[in-house]
Structure 1
């Protein structure tokens, strides 16, 4: 039986752009396992889990995760990493798709993996979504936020 760190390292291997095995990745999870993309408030459960990989790889097909530090603490594995890739696919947003820019991303990330009996029960990914968006040229629209707040305050 593999130890928890080996299972997590296998999960990263299966999610690399040149490997991308969503079914193999899913098989590492418990039946009711979850993948939580925390900054984007997205949760993938059970058989939805491979969608997290394929969706990201559609935007960044050469996705690579550079593992900087891996700490296995019983049934928890904490990983510091950088998610890297090239923006070659449309990036979906609530107001439309950001077309490919060809920009490289290098996103600081911290992942927490919770395992039970040799399977991943929960995976929480804390990626710096603001850094990723800036690197593909999607900067916050502060002017609109200020104008909306001023309009709301004036109407109150």
Structure 2
């Protein structure tokens, strides 16, 4: 499986809500990092990341905008869309459900080890997410 195929499979399993399949795409010592201080390695951080988003936005879907396959690494540009109906257990503290729908662009940079992900770094605008949730006031 090349990098593009791995990223596409990753998104397919995410959107299918297949935690076991999604998690199996990571090496046992995979590292994950994201905004707000989410960092770690191994199966526990993979499960934590998955649950953080899938449980707090159960109707979420990720829509691909662009995939760049660099061989041993790749980049995904996409949009996360979902409704915040359950508590978001973020690294900085819990956010109670707002019932608001969000559409948040993000970029994911990955390194591959064969047909699995070894390093997974997520970038998105936290202020944009918090504004869409109504937690931060929108400014002009």
Q: Which residue of 2 aligns with 1:74?
A: 71
Shift of 1:134: 0.8
Greater per-residue helix proportion: 1
Per-residue Cα deviation, 1:13-62 (whole angstroms, up to 9, x for no partner): 1112xx2222212211112111211x212124221102211121111001
2:98 corresponds to which of 91, 101, 115: 101
Give the deviation of 1:96 after TM superposition: 5.8
What TM-score, normalized by structure 1, do the two folds share?
0.79
The residue number in structure 2 matching 1:41 is 37
> CA shift at 1:94, angstroms?
7.1
Question: Which structure carries more relative contact order (alpha carbon 8 Å, separation 6+)?
Answer: 2
Deviation at 1:101, TM superposition (A): 1.8
The corresponding residue for 2:21 is 24
- In 2, Cα distance between the equivalents of 1:106 and 1:66? 10
Q: Rg bigger for which structure? A: 1
Distance in 1 between the 2:5 and 2:26 partners? 14
Q: Deviations over 1:82-140 (max 9, x none)?
A: 11100111233578643322111111111111102222110101021111111111117
TM-score, normalisation: structure 2: 0.87
In the alignment, which residue of structure 1 is the partner of 2:50? Answer: 53
RMSD: 1.8
Alpha-carbon distance in 1 for matches of 2:69, 2:106? 17
In structure 1, the gaps of 5 or more residues are 141-156
Q: For structure 2, which runs of at least 5 residues remain unmatched after alignment?
A: none
